[in-house]
């Protein structure tokens, strides 16, 4: 049986039990199993898929019959990850496409190539992420977290829209193409900052830049949900809880040392991203923030919601950065 709502909400608000593997084990005991062919005939692209949550997401998708395009910055690492997936899922359809999400010109190049190769996309998972030690700018002059987590995904979604439209045929209204942003529970610690989105003011903190842009992802998913409603494309965001990924080991070693026994496996962390592509419920709504297969509030404190002008500012930031459609 599913956890009672009050208990589930209590686990979520207490953070440690809800975000840890304990929360996953408690909740997943009541979940129904997805059909093994739930994604047969569907093609899904996953960014940042050469390791960690991205690789686990690919494995979860192909286990349900999907064909997956692994979108990676380093082709060699991506092909090694593909080989690991194929070793555990023989016969799966997995391709590798190279794209640096932080480089907007490279996003355009990759998307043009994808439009030439692919007939349709039924899903897109924005998983690529960075947590830099120092403020770093891309060749176009954008702060690295902002470019990787917000501007690149915004542009990639727009550039792949013809494929996503093709994956959302009007005769299948209950099965739209789905765009999923892999955010972070850390976004709860940040407000939507459009006054200094490039983090040019004050002392730079990689953790703060990460949290700010993860908050932006959640708001951007809501804005894209409205913008793409007419195209029949559903857009969601989610957070994976605390998972033991190479990124955590490399960027947050102290956190990993303290919480190690409580961290989720990468498969547990990727579960909701996979479920959002396969389950019925997420195809019947859009613009929702999820954790462990349940919609979650985007703010814990009353009055924390973004002002309309701040939301409009985020949209203008993205449009101004990537240029007109």
pLDDT one digit per residue (tens) for the chain, 325 residues? 778 899 999 999 999 999 999 999 999 999 999 999 999 999 999 999 999 999 999 999 999 999 999 999 999 999 999 999 999 999 999 999 999 999 999 999 999 999 999 999 999 999 999 999 999 999 999 999 999 999 999 999 999 999 999 998 766 656 899 999 999 999 999 999 999 999 999 999 999 999 999 999 999 999 999 999 999 999 999 999 998 777 776 767 777 777 778 899 999 999 999 999 999 999 999 999 999 999 999 998 887 899 999 999 999 999 999 987 7
Residues β-bridged to residue 235 = 179
Compute the distance between CA of residue 51 and CA of residue 37 in angstroms, rounded to an integer.
24
Cβ atoms within 10 A of the Cβ of 89, count? 17
Token readout for 15 is 């953070």
Phi, psi values for residue 150, rounded to 5°: -125, -60
pLDDT computed for residue 173 by the predictor: 58
Catalytic choice (19, 188, 210, 300): 210
CA atoms within 13 A on the CB side of 223: 23
Query: In this predicted structure, what is the pLDDT of residue 169?
Result: 75
3-class SS of residue 129 = coil
Contact between residue 153 and residue 125 where contact means Cβ atoms under 8 Å apart: no
CA angle at residue 166 from 58 to 39, to 5 degrees?
Answer: 35
| Residue 158: how many other CB atoms lie within 10 Å | 19
Cβ count within 10 A of residue 289? 21
Q: At what angle do helices 206-227 and 308-322 cross, to 10 degrees?
A: 90
* Matching residue, tokens 């919601």: 305
DSSP secondary structure string for all residues of 90-106: TT--EEEEE--TT-HHH
Q: Please tell me the pTM assigned to this model.
A: 0.95
CA nearest to 114, candidates 67, 148, 58: 67
Query: Is-catalytic flag, 110?
Result: no
Calculate the CA 255 to chain-centre distance.
22
């Amino acid at each position: 049986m599913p956890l009672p709502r009050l208990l589930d909400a209590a686990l979520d608000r207490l953070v440690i039990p809800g975000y840890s593997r304990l929360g996953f084990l408690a909740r997943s005991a009541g979940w129904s199993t997805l059909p093994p062919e739930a994604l047969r005939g569907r093609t899904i692209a996953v960014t940042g898929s050469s390791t960690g949550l991205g690789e686990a997401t690919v494995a979860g998708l192909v286990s349900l019959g999907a064909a997956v395009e692994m979108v990676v910055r380093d082709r060699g690492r991506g092909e090694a990850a593909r080989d690991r997936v194929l070793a555990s899922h023989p016969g799966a359809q997995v391709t590798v496409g190279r794209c640096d999400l932080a480089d907007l010109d490279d996003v355009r190049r990759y998307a043009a190539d994808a439009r030439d190769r692919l007939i349709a996309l039924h899903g897109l998972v924005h998983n690529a992420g960075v947590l830099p030690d120092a403020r770093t700018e891309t060749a176009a002059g954008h702060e690295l977290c902002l470019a990787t987590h917000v501007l690149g995904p915004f542009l990639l979604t727009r550039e792949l829209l013809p494929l996503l439209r093709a994956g959302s045929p009007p005769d299948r209204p209950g099965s739209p193409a789905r765009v999923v942003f892999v955010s972070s529970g850390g976004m709860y610690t940040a407000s939507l900052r459009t006054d200094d989105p490039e983090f040019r003011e004050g002392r730079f903190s990689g953790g703060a830049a990460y949290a700010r842009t993860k908050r932006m992802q959640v708001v951007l998913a809501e804005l894209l949900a409205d913008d793409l409603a007419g195209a029949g494309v559903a857009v969601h965001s989610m957070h994976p809880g605390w998972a033991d990924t190479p990124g955590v080991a490399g960027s947050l070693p102290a956190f990993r040392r303290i919480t190690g026994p409580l961290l989720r496996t990468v498969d547990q962390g990727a579960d909701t991203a996979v479920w959002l592509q396969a389950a019925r419920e997420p195809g019947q709504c859009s613009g929702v923030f999820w954790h462990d297969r349940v919609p979650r509030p985007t703010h814990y404190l009353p009055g924390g919601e973004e002002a309309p002008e701040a939301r409009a500012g985020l949209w203008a930031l993205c449009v101004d950065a990537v240029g007109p459609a």
